[in-house]
Amino acid sequence: MSHPRVLAVVMALGLAAAGLFGLAAPAARAAPVKHVEAELVPQSRTVAPGQTLYVALHQKIIPGWHTYWRNPGDAGEATTLDWTLPPGWSAGSIVWPEPERFVAGPLMNYVFSTEVYLPVAIQVPSDARPGRTTLAATANWLVCKDVCIPETTKLSLPVTVVAAAAGVTSRPDPAGQAVADTVANAPKPAGLKASFAYLAKSEQVRLTLSGGALKGQDISKAYFFPYDGTVLEHVKPQLPAKAGAGLTLLLPAGYAFTHNKAPAKLEGIITFGPGRAFEVSATPVKRGDAAAGPRPDDGGGFGGLPGALAFAFIGGLILNLMPCVFPVLSIKAAALARHVESPGKAAAEGMVFLVGCVLTFVALAGALILAQQAGQAVGWGFQLQSAGVVAALTLLMLAIGLNLSGVFEIGLSVQGAGQGLAGQGGLVGAFFTGVLAVVVAAPCTAPFMAGAIGWAFTRPPVEALSVFVALGLGLAAPFVLVSLIPGLFKRLPRPGAWMEGLKKTLAFPMYGSAAWLAWVFVQQAGANGLALLFAAAVFIAFAVWLFGVSQRASRPWLPRFGAVAGLLVAIPLAVMGSAMTASAEIPSGGPSPVSGIAAEPWSPAKVDSLRAAGRPVFVDFTAAWCVTCQVNERTALATAGVADAFRRTNTAYLRADWTNRNADIADALKAQGRAGVPLYLVYDAKGGEPQVLPQILTEGGVVSALNSASAGKPTA
C-alpha cells in the first residue's frame, strides 16, 4: 500500500479515469465496474408500512483487490452510500461486518476482499401507500491492490409495499438470507464493561474488559478494531492477556494519545475469531487508577528504546556472572589465554565470538516472535521447554567435559569439530562457542534484562530485535575488550603447563551443567525418560572414548566404526526419552521451598478466591531450567525468617511452574510486561494490584513485602 500522500495522488488519477471511462454513469440494478461488481440486495422483496427493511450493498471484488471497513486503518477510504428515498422513508448507517486485517509493508489496513454485504436499515413510514416504489443510492468506494482506484456507481432497487394484512415474505431468497445473516452476525453490544488508560512511558493503551460474553472465548485470539483511525498504531502488535475473569489488551498508542488528543471514549469491536465479535465502548479510568494493571515497562520506566538498549546491555554483562553460562565462558577465557602471544588471532576470535552471540540472540528472539504471532504460548527461554533440546544439551555438555578430561581431542575447547578447524585459527569454534553460550544463558534472566525483554515483546520486530542485539553485545563485551585492548591482553598469564591442568579442571563445570540439565529433563519427561537419557549418555561416553582411541591407534577405522555405532544407538535413545514429555503430567505447582508452607498450584481463579477470602497471596513464577529461580529458592525463600513471615501473615503460597509450556502462565507473564521467569508477585489482603518483587530475592525484601501485604498497605 502506498504512503497516504501517494494514495491521494492515485485517488485523483483514479477519479479522472472514472470520468473518462464513464464509471460514474447511471447504472441498472447490477452495475459491473472494472474492479468491483455492485448491486443493492434487500432482505425481503416486500415490506409493510411501519416496518424496517434491511437493504445491503453487495460488493463482488475481483481477486487480489480489496475495499475498506469504516476505519480503513493506516490508509484507504471507507465505502459510503448516499440514498435517494421516497418521501417519509429514512436510511440508517451501514451495519459493518467484521473486517479482515491486511498488512502492506509498514501499514495495516482493515479491508474486505472477494465479497461483502454492507446492510443498511431502511425505515418505512407507517403511512406508506401499498404499491411499487424505488430505492436509489449512489455508492462510492476505494478499491486497492498495488494502486488504489476510487469508483462510484448509481444503483436502484424496486420494492413492493403491501398492506399489513397481506403479510411480508417470510422466507427470503438466498441473497436476502445473506443480508439477514450479515445483520445477525454483525458485532453488537454484549454488555461488556470496558475501561482504558494511556501508559505514557511505554506509549501504550491498556484496554480492560469484563463481562459474561468473554466466557469461553480464546483470549489469545483477541484483537481490537478501533472505530477511530488515530487512536492506535494499527500495524504494531496487540498483547492480550487474562485479567481475572476478564481480559486486558496492551494496545500501541496512536497519534491521538501521543499528542494529547485522547478520545472521551475508546470505541470499536473486540473479536475472538470469525463470528465472535462484540462492540466495545470504553471509558477512561480515573487518574488515580492510571498506574493499575499490567506494567509493560516492568516498573522501570526506562524511557523507550534507548533505555531498553542500555538495560539489555547491562543485563548481558551480568549474564557473564550467571552460573548457567559460566562453564562455557570459562572455556572461552582459556582459549584467549592460549593466544596470549598472538594478539591478532585473539582479536579475530573475540570478534567472531561476538558475532555468534549476537546472531544467536537475534535468532532466538525472531523464533519466539514468530511463535507468539502464530498463537504459541512461549516466552524467553522457550528452547529449554523442549525436552528434546534439554536432552541434546545434556549430551553435548557431557561430551565437552569428556573432551576437556582428555578422553578425546578436538583442541583445548569446543572450538571445532575436528583437526581441520584448528587450521582455521579457531574462528569457526569461536563462533559456535558464542552460539552455545547464548543457548545455555538465555534461560538465566539477569537483573535489568527482564524489563528490557518484556518491553521488547511489546514493540515492533525491528525495535524488539535491536534489544536482543544489545544483549548479545553485553554478553560478549568482556571477551571482546580483553582480546582487542593490548594492555588488558598482556595481563593474561603466559601459556605453559598450567593450561593442561586448567583444561581438566574446566571439565567439572561441564559435568555439573550436564547434571543440572538432566535434572531439568526429569521434570519434563519423568523417571522413565531420564532412564533413557542416562542410557544415551553411556553410549555417548562410549562413542567419544572409542573416538579417542582411534586418534592414538595405527589402524583407526575399527574404533571409529564403534564410535559411529555408539552415536547411532545414543541418538534414538535420547529421542525416545524426549518423546515421553507428552505423557508426563506436570502440574503448575510443585514442592514448596518455604519450610512448613504448602505450595498450591497457581491459577487466576485461585488468586481471585484467596483474595476474596482476605488472604495475602505470594505467587512464584518459576521453572526447573531457571537457575536464578533455583538460587532464590535456596538462598531467600528457604530461610527461617521467610517461613515465619508466611505463617504470621497467613499468606498463601502459589507456585506457577513454567518448566513445560503453559498458556495461562504465558498470559500472566505477558500481563506483567515479562517474557520469562522468575517473577514474584505479592497481593495484599485488601485488593489492589500486586507488588512485583526484584528478580534477585533477599530474605529481608520478602519479609517486608509479606508484612506490607498483610497490613493491606498500598504496594509499590
Q: Are residue 283 and residue 332 in the same domain, yes or no?
A: no
The residue whose grid cell reads 479515469 is 17
Instruction: Encode pLDDT of 564-619 as tens digits.
Output: 888 888 888 877 877 775 343 344 455 788 888 888 888 887 887 888 788 899 99
| Residue 208 resides in a domain | yes
Q: What's the per-residue H, E or C state across 582-627?
A: HHCCCCCCCCCCCCCCCEEECCHHHHHHHHHCCCCEEEEEECCCCH
Are both 318 and 342 inside the same structural domain? Answer: yes
Residue 615 lies in a domain: yes
Q: Which of 175-189, 504-518, 676-690 has the highest mean pLDDT?
A: 175-189
pLDDT band at 18 (very low <50, low <70, confident <90, very high): very low
Same domain as 240, residue 147 = no
Residue 295 lies in a domain: no
Q: What is the CATH number of the domain that holds 201?
A: 2.60.40
- CA-nearest of 298, 326, 562 to 455 is 298
Question: pLDDT at position 199, please?
Answer: 86
Q: Phi/psi at 346 (nearest 5 deg)?
A: -60, -45
Looking at the structure of the chain, the number of domains it has is 4
Q: Please tell me whether residues 224 and 370 are part of one structural domain.
A: no
> Is the same domain home to 449 and 348?
yes
Q: Is 70 exceeded by the pLDDT of residue 425? A: no
HEC readout, 1-38: CCCHHHHHHHHHHHHHHHHHCCCCCECCCEEECCCEEE
CATH number at residue 20: 2.60.40.1250
Confidence of residue 322 (pLDDT cuts 50, 70, 90): low
Kindly state whether residues 171 and 194 are assigned to the same domain: no
Distance CA 239, CA 306 (A): 22
- Is residue 332 included in any domain, yes or no? yes
Secondary structure letter of residue 80 according to DSSP: E
Final residue of a domain: which of 180, 200, 220? 180
Residue 501: pLDDT over 80: no
Tell me, yes or no, whether 325 and 226 share the same domain. no
pTM: 0.44
The pLDDT, as a whole number, for residue 426 is: 64
Do 380 and 442 contact (CB within 8 A), yes or no? yes
Three-state SS string across 289-358, please? Answer: HCCCCCCCCCCCCCCHHHHHHHHHHHHHHHHCCCCCCHHHHHHHHHHHHHCCCCHHHHHHHHHHHHHHHH
Asked whether 405 and 543 are in contact (CB, 8 A), the reply is no
Check residue 281 and give its pLDDT.
Answer: 93
**For the segment 250-291, what is each residue's pLDDT rounded down to a tens digit?**
999 998 998 888 899 999 999 998 888 999 999 987 543 333
Is 329 within the bounds of a domain? yes
Domain boundary residue, one of 265, 289, 313: 289
Indicate which CATH number applies to the domain containing 609: 3.40.30.10
Question: Of 558, 583, 608, which closes a domain?
Answer: 583
Asked whether residue 350 falls in the same domain as residue 479, the answer is: yes
Q: What is the average per-residue pLDDT within 349-368? A: 82
Shared-domain flag, residues 498 and 436: yes
Domain that holds residue 31: 4-180
Same domain, 35 and 92: yes
